[in-house]
Amino acid sequence: MSQEVLITPALPNFSSIHPEQIQKDLQTMLDEHRSLITALVKAENPSWSSVAQPMDNMADQLNKYWSPISHLNSVRNNEALRQAYNASLPELSKYSTEIGQNRNLYDAFASIKTSSEFPGLTEAQQKSISNTLRDFHLAGVDLADDKKARYKEISQRLAEITSEFSDNVLDATQAWTKHFASAEGLAGLPKTALAGAKQAAKVRNKEGYVVTLDFPSYYAVMTFAENRELRKEVYEAFSTRASDQGPHAGRYDNSWLMEEILQLRLEKSKLLGFTTYADYSLATKMAGSPEEVLGFLNDLAEKSKPRAEKEMQELREFAKEQGLESLEAWDVSFYSEKLKQERYAISQEELKPYFPVEKVVNGMFAVVERLFGVTLKAVTDVNRYHEDIRYFEVERGGKSIAGIFMDLFARENKRGGAWMADYSVRRKLDDGRIQKPIAFITCNFASATEEHPALLTHNEVTTLFHEFGHALHHMLTKVDCNDVSGINGVAWDAVELPSQFLENWCWQEEGIRLISAHYQTQEPLPHELLEKMLAAKNFQSAMMMVRQLEFALFDFRLHHEYQPDGFSIQEILDQVRNKVAVVQPPAFNRFQHSFSHIFAGGYAAGYYSYKWAEVLAADAFSKFEETGVFNPETGREFLHCILEKGGSREPMELFVEFRGRPPQTDALLRHNGIV
């Protein structure tokens, strides 16, 4: 068997991205692709090489052009780039819909499926063809011309307004700050948080300290600030972002955008013959029906809520002992932290010095090396858009097989949250060589200050592992076919399996030894601190479980029940909270207005997938608990059955192949201390 030849695609040249050129260059590329498609559908006897491979080539070229622009828009946003990005979205949507509704192209792929060539194609190629035919139907290829035109209009409009939703959240987050001349008003905040607030003031050319709505700053105030009025003020500013409430009420209001997004999603679904957007969403997922999803979520809620109520009652009683008569939403994190300290004598802040980001990143690489036999090596001579960016080559047996850009720190003009995205996918080129997959990882951790290097809470360590799990799924694939390579073509409710799976090593003593070292003494996390951390692992885990179920049920019911007339988004959220929540937020809370996952991301009627995949991840990890957390054979099995296969086979088949049976919920409830 000839050895495969891997090549690295030209890496993104961020400094050559000029906003004024984007629309023109994109239009040129799309018009070239349109001409190529017109020519290739005329070919007689359509085959993989005459139709599917050229379509793969075009998809890859477009992704490598657009992905760095999209990435920059998220991590180094400015007005010129934002305008060019938003102006391009309708064109991309129009092009995508044209392809999806091109009957001649559909007929060409259908011919390949029924041809004598099909049985001889690889498993991945066959899955790609089948997925493509399914996606033609979901893009409206069967619709009458007037309905096709309406579908196209809806898709373009959705591309515009979901981006606008995201812009409003970013602008609202950046619009609010609070300045303190001295640290007096920030009593209770730990040194690392004060250093961050000092840094935030410095970059704004101010003396003293600045609190922002970036998550590290928000989290520090809500968890540690002794000034209850300050906690309430910051909570209100954060929980009313981009809404009709709070300090910037109406200024970046997403209210009407949410309504229009839901209305257009429903109309699009009905055009395609689905009853609701939830039905449409499930057409590409593991779950078979809305009833199955709702049953799954409600079952978890029933098992978790009694324990969550008990945890909440304990917290109320503790707060009362501390002199607080009525526990409000802005008190929950503060008193939870105090109770956790009293019970386990440990806090995220106390752990921070043991998790300097450099040690965590290198330790994470060591974990992955032991599990999957790959190493990561820093490469410095690449084009970067900020000094914080780092690039690594992934190697197996001394040979580079993939690459990854890491952008870990919060800063101005950068979208909040954490995510993984791809620049290039592993795929076979026309000349038989294999293109290497390249990934982006983005987080929003507090950066280094004059006093100390960048230090992570243990929660942030698990966030990094989570995103790196996604990246491994993308980078370690052995699939050579664009549509099902890496994370491509993976059912959305299975895509979180590798990410949540990798988080487990942040809780194992063998893993923690690799990722921890005090930034001053280089001592690993002391055993007594580790014991406390593990003892505290499931502190309020049921409260956290029902909070995630609240988000998932709200999202799914919203997309399953929405009707254009007389429907209230707030009412659905209130109903869900009354059923599953143990923390009832104040009336001004507008969480939904910044719920970008479902209104601007890919999780619409799919937020449940976090819990769905968590069941898979916990059950998969239980095999390592049985055989050893660094058992190389079990690591190889997970690599071969899950990570290498990408979307080339159905996720349930792959899971059963790895685990030897279908998934069970017991491990998840056990890992969370709920049973």
The β-bridge partners of 455 are: 356
For the chain, the residue count is: 675
Between CA 230 and CA 588 the distance in angstroms is 17
Which residues have a Cβ under 8 Å from the Cβ of 464 and sit 6 or more positions away?
Answer: 360, 361, 364, 408, 418, 441, 443, 445, 456
Q: Domain limits of the chain? A: 6-168, 176-239, 255-346+541-607
Residue 216: the pLDDT is: 93
* 543 pLDDT more than 50: yes
Between CA 475 and CA 425 the distance in angstroms is 8
H helix runs in 19-144, sequence order: 19-40, 53-75, 79-100, 103-114, 123-138
Please tell me which residue in 164, 233, 467, 550 is annotated as part of the active site: 467
* 264 pLDDT more than 90: yes
Residue 637 pLDDT level (bands cut at 50, 70, 90): very high
pLDDT tens for 65-112 read: 999 999 999 999 999 999 999 999 999 999 999 999 999 999 999 999
Between CA 373 and CA 394 the distance in angstroms is 10
* 221 pLDDT more than 80: yes
Mean pLDDT over 546-562 rounds to: 98
Between CA 555 and CA 573 the distance in angstroms is 9
Which residues have a Cβ under 8 Å from the Cβ of 265 and sit 6 or more positions away?
Answer: 158, 277, 280, 559, 562, 604
* 119 pLDDT more than 80: yes
Please give the CATH number for the structural domain made up of 6-168. 1.10.1370.40
Residue 2: the pLDDT is: 61
- Count Cβ atoms within 10 A of the Cβ of residue 631 and give its class: 0-12 exposed, 13-18 middle, 19 or more buried: middle
Residue 348 pLDDT level (bands cut at 50, 70, 90): confident
pLDDT tens for 376-406 read: 999 999 999 999 999 999 999 999 999 999 9
Residue 532: the pLDDT is: 92
Side-chain-side CA neighbours of residue 182 (13 Å):
1
Residue 349 pLDDT level (bands cut at 50, 70, 90): confident
Which residues have a Cβ under 8 Å from the Cβ of 96 and sit 6 or more positions away?
Answer: 139, 155
Q: Which of helix, strand or coil describes residue 455?
A: strand
Supply the mean pLDDT for the chain. 96
Between CA 623 and CA 638 the distance in angstroms is 10
- For the question of residue 625 being annotated catalytic, the response is no
Biggest CA pair distance of the chain: 81
* 225 pLDDT more than 50: yes
Residue 1 pLDDT level (bands cut at 50, 70, 90): very low
Domain 255-346+541-607: what homologous superfamily? Neurolysin, domain 3 (1.10.1370.10)
Between CA 242 and CA 215 the distance in angstroms is 16
Domains 6-168 and 255-346+541-607 agree in fold: yes
Percentage with pLDDT > 90 across the chain = 95
Residue 3: the pLDDT is: 81
Identify the residue whose tokens are 């002992």. Answer: 321
